[in-house]
Amino acid sequence: MSTTISEYKRCTLVTFEGRVDSNTVPAMEETLKSITDAGQFKIVLDMSKVTFVSSAGWWMLIETQKTCHRYNRGELVMAGLDERIHKSLDLVGMGSYFKIFDDVVTAVAHF
Amino acid sequence: MHTASFLARFDSLESIGNLVAQAAREAGFDDNAVYEVQLAVDEAATNIIEHAYGGEGKGEIRITYQITSDSLILRIYDRGIPFDPHMIEKPKLHLKLEELSPRGLGLYWMRNLMDYVHFEFTPEQGNILTMSKRRIAN
């Protein structure tokens, strides 16, 4: 698992790599919290290198989404989500809580 | 019948995922179904670590699987405190983002991802979770 952060003019791009499960969530949660603690509430998550997201991973992202929504036009959006992961999100009824874009360029342009 | 045992720790989740993905591929599942099995088992294993054992490194998780003509049958064993699914409230669905909470959702997810989910406890073997999923013909 690895994480990189890039600052853009209107949003922050975070790239996760590998598995998002109970083993890796604490480190990822800390990364996202450091971004929202710094007052950045427009976040693009590049998921193109993520192979698995468990419910613990979705709960971390739901909590981050809640934090982002509390601020003016804040939002967490995702890009490049693997089709299987996307389908599983819809199957368990959580697909409606995130905007999902095909690629990072489109997601960044959303803000 | 195949059997494997893992330490009940979060850093075992990846190996557990690899085992059941291999089992699901052996059973002839497509990529989506393989992923669904991985997700259901990850949910079950996480629950065992967090709730049955009450933390990491307090026991083992044993997984067996068998492949029948049309299904994959998985059994997950632990020696933690007995689990009674009836004690879990039904989750509230279709809530606003602000009202979402994770309570009871793990079980709901597992039931959505698999065709059959059954919990039992025996003093001899501890908790036994049986889950199965049918292969859908292409």
Element (H, E) at B19: helix B13-26
Protein fold of A2-109:
Transcription Regulator spoIIAA (3.30.750)
The pLDDT assigned to B138 comes to 52
Please say whether the beta carbons of B129 and B64 come within 8 A: no
Q: Does A56 touch chain B (CB under 8 A)?
A: yes
Using CB atoms, which residue from B31, B36, B39 is nearest to A54?
Answer: B39
Q: Can you tell me the distance from the alpha carbon of B43 to that of A64, in angstroms, rounded to the nearest whole number? A: 21
Please say whether the beta carbons of B74 and B23 come within 8 A: yes
Mark yes or no for CB contact B98/A69 under 8 Å: yes
The pLDDT assigned to B103 comes to 66
Residue B45's closest chain A neighbor by CA? Answer: A22
The pLDDT assigned to A18 comes to 95
DSSP-assigned letters across all residues of B65-85 = EEE-SSEEEEEEEE-SS---G
φ, ψ for residue B53 (rounded to 5)? -90, -15
- Burial of A105 (C-beta count, 10 Å sphere; 0-12/13-18/19+): exposed
Which of B 43-72 lie inside 8 A of A, CB atoms?
Answer: 43, 46, 49-50
Mark yes or no for CB contact B31/A84 under 8 Å: yes
State if pTM tops 0.80: yes
Domain extents in chain B: 2-134
For residue A52, which of A80, A21, A27, A10 has the smallest C-alpha distance? Answer: A21
Q: What is the 3-state secondary structure (H, E, C) of chain A?
A: CEEEEEECCCCEEEEEEEEECCCCHHHHHHHHHHHHHCCCCEEEEEEEEEEEECHHHHHHHHHHHHHHHCCCCCEEEEECCCHHHHHHHHHCCCHHHCEEECCHHHHHHCC
* Homologous superfamily of domain range B2-134: Histidine kinase-like ATPase, C-terminal domain (3.30.565.10)
Residues of chain A with pLDDT below 70 are none
Domain extents in chain A: 2-109
Strand partners, A16: A3
Question: Can you say whether residue A93 is alpha, beta or left, with left for phi > 0 and alpha for psi between -120 and 50 degrees?
Answer: left
Determine how many CB atoms are found less than 10 A away from the CB of residue B137. Answer: 6
Q: Can you tell me the distance from the alpha carbon of A15 to that of A8, in angstroms, rounded to the nearest whole number? A: 13
Residue A70's closest chain B neighbor by CA? Answer: B98
Residue A60's closest chain B neighbor by CA? Answer: B102
Using CB atoms, which residue from A19, A65, A87 is nearest to B32?
Answer: A87
Residue B32's closest chain A neighbor by CA? Answer: A84
Q: Does A97 touch chain B (CB under 8 A)?
A: yes
| pLDDT, tens digit only, all 138 positions of chain B | 899 999 999 999 999 999 999 999 999 999 999 999 999 999 999 999 999 999 999 999 999 999 999 999 999 999 999 988 877 777 777 788 888 877 667 888 899 999 999 999 999 999 999 999 999 765
Mark yes or no for CB contact B97/A69 under 8 Å: yes
Question: Can you say whether residue B93 is alpha, beta or left, with left for phi > 0 and alpha for psi between -120 and 50 degrees?
Answer: beta
Determine how many CB atoms are found less than 10 A away from the CB of residue A10. Answer: 11
Kindly list the residues from chain A whose CB atom is less than 8 angstroms away from the CB atom of residue B108: 92
Mark yes or no for CB contact A55/B106 under 8 Å: yes
Please say whether the beta carbons of A78 and A48 come within 8 A: no
Mark yes or no for CB contact A22/B49 under 8 Å: yes
